[in-house]
Amino acid sequence: MPTREKTQLLTAAQTGRTIQRLGHEIVEKSGEGHGVALIGIRRRGVPLAQRLARTIRAETGAAVPIGILDITLYRDDLSLVAAHPVVQSTDIPFAVDDRDLILVDDVLFTGRTIRAAMNGVFDLGRPRSIQLCVLVDRGHRELPIEASFVGRRVDTRSNEVVDVHLEEVDGEDRVMLLERVP
Amino acid sequence: MSFTFRHLLDAEALSRDEITFLLDQSGAFQGIQKQPLKKLATLRGKSAVLAFFETSTRTRISFGTAAARLGADTMNLQAESSSTQKGESLIDTVRTLEAMRPDVIVIRHAASGAPHFVAERLGIPVVNAGDGLHEHPTQGLLDALTIRDRLGRLDDLNVAIVGDIRHSRVARSNIHVLTKFGCRVTLCGPAMWLPPEMAGIAPNVRIEPCLDRALDGAQVVMVLRVQTERLQEPALPVDEYIRLYQMTPERLRRARPEALLMHPGPMIRGLEIDPAVADSPQSCVLEQVTNGVAVRMAVLYLLTSGAGSHAADIQAG
């Protein structure tokens, strides 16, 4: 379905600052970031996690481990979406057992992606805790899931789409609110 | 890049890009074999018929494991207990199975082309798990995945396949997969198992009855299983086969030092392969088995997930 841009939610500079602030909040809340590991949810959660790790490292000197999670196989809508979504690899190079994990994604919407991500994580072991960090929370939850770290809360309508662009994937930092046009 | 497959009937019909896509998708499933919890719910509620009209242990267990790890149920038909023994035709048997509403059917059959015949007549995806002397496409794919993992590429390799080429669907599927990547394939074995027309089934395939010459410079060596009943003694006694074609450490030295040693199994130590070769660091026999589950998971996933033909644009939750 075609979309048109409605508003710009974050400029490049605001996107960068918001991610930095999220990094600071993680340090503040998790005590210098010790024992914390970040898990970026494909696709844009991955560069987001990498940037958070850089901020945490700059502030505390601690190298935060980063894992990559592909949730395709855990989606609950595989029989609803058309052609099979392409599966990508999950790469979590550390043991999740007894760790404090922070899942990282660009947009929190229905909560179903996060439900899928948690199932994926639990197939790998038993973390001590899981928190969630998102750049944008756009509401419309369908599951009892909330984020511990939120860059920006936006009230949206169901016919709108939050479009996050990140330098590493899209060549620019920018967050837009799009509207589906019938 | 993404592709949609209706069936997996042979490797010959797959393009190089389609094979690359299937191997990349299989790569994602390799990780799951290493997880403590290997069972997914991805295909929960779906079921796969494993219709093995010809006896099989390894391939049937591999497909069964792949289906189980994706959360799908399996319905098993085995040759020994099959109604074909009672005279039922293939089409009646598979129509009966289809009437139980499975989502995919995996077929092994002694007749070449049986999976194609079934695919034309049923409304569900069909996977060829080996048909007569024709093909065994998932074996070709899992071998390619194993080579790509070990050597880092598939392109332009020098591959030797040794043994009973005539009766080997494994050889045919491998030839079709590997030559699409520019590999040069040398087929070697006793004359009765080395039909000259095999050189014409794909480009860059040649026949070489002398094992030492066939192995010269090979980067991948595939040893095929020998079924002694096919040796047709006294034409070629077992001792003579062992003397001429058994893969020994001395023979393997004719190949490149880093050459991979592969075998589709079941492997008869002391017949087609010397135990020292089977257990050498060059051997990837067990990786082939592990990769087989990943490839079959990818194939079952790609054939049974998704509702329609056109990708919907959805906002991730």
Task: Please tell me which of the candidates B298, B308, B316 has its beta carbon nearest to residue A113.
Answer: B316
Q: Do A85 and B298 touch (CB under 8 A)?
A: no
The model's confidence at residue B312, banded by pLDDT at 50, 70 and 90, is: very low
Range of the domain at A119: 14-155
Q: What is the CATH number of the domain that holds A37?
A: 3.40.50.2020
Residues of B in contact with A82 (CB under 8 A): 306-312
Residue B9 lies in a domain: no
Range of the domain at B30: 16-136+290-304
CB A106 within 8 A of CB A132: no
- pLDDT tens digit sequence for B56-112: 899 999 999 999 999 999 999 987 666 666 788 999 999 999 999 999 999 999 999
Residue B191 scores a pLDDT above 70: yes
Residue B150 lies in a domain: yes
- For the ranges A2-11, A52-61, A78-87, B151-160, the lowest mean pLDDT is seen at A78-87
Give residue B83's pLDDT: 61
- Least Cα distance to A105 among A130, A80, A77, A85 occurs for A130
Size of interface A-B (CB pairs under 8 A): 89
Structure tokens at A179: 């509207």
Q: State whether residue A80 sits within 8 Å of chain B by CB.
A: yes
How many domains is chain A built from? 1
Residue B310 lies in a domain: no
Are B110 and B191 members of one domain?
Answer: no
Residue B313 scores a pLDDT above 50: no
Q: Do B2 and A86 touch (CB under 8 A)?
A: yes
Q: What is the CATH number of the domain that holds B26?
A: 3.40.50.1370
Are B184 and B83 members of one domain?
Answer: no
Task: Answer whether the bond into residue A43 is a cis peptide, omega within 30°.
Answer: yes
- Across the range B113-124, mean pLDDT stands at 96
Q: Do B31 and A89 touch (CB under 8 A)?
A: yes
- For the ranges A64-73, A102-111, B16-25, B86-95, the lowest mean pLDDT is seen at B86-95
Residue B162 lies in a domain: yes
Residue B239 lies in a domain: yes
Residue B314 scores a pLDDT above 50: no
- pLDDT tens digit sequence for B120-177: 999 999 999 999 999 999 999 999 999 999 999 999 999 999 999 999 999 999 999 9
Residues of A in contact with B312 (CB under 8 A): 81-82
Q: Do A74 and B4 touch (CB under 8 A)?
A: no
Residue B316 scores a pLDDT above 60: no
Are B245 and B129 members of one domain?
Answer: no
Residues of B in contact with A114 (CB under 8 A): 317
Residue B217 lies in a domain: yes
Own/partner contacts of B31-36, CB < 8 Å, gap of 24 or more, are: B31/A89, B31/A90, B31/A91, B32/A73, B32/B69, B32/B294, B32/B297, B33/B290, B33/B293, B33/B294, B35/A123, B35/A124, B36/A123, B36/A124, B36/A125
Q: Which residues lie across from A91 on neighbouring strands? A: A68
Task: Answer whether the bond into residue B266 is a cis peptide, omega within 30°.
Answer: yes
Q: State whether residue B34 sits within 8 Å of chain A by CB.
A: no
Chain B interface, mutation test: which of A78, A90, A132, A134, most B Cβ atoms within 10 Å? A78
Q: State whether residue B35 sits within 8 Å of chain A by CB.
A: yes
Cα atoms found within 13 Å of the Cα of residue B157, Cβ hemisphere only: 29
Identify the burial level of B17 via C-beta atoms within 10 angstroms of its C-beta, where 0-12 means exposed, 13-18 middle and 19 or more buried.
exposed
Residue A120 lies in a domain: yes
- Least Cα distance to A32 among A54, A56, A48 occurs for A56
Are B131 and B150 members of one domain?
Answer: no
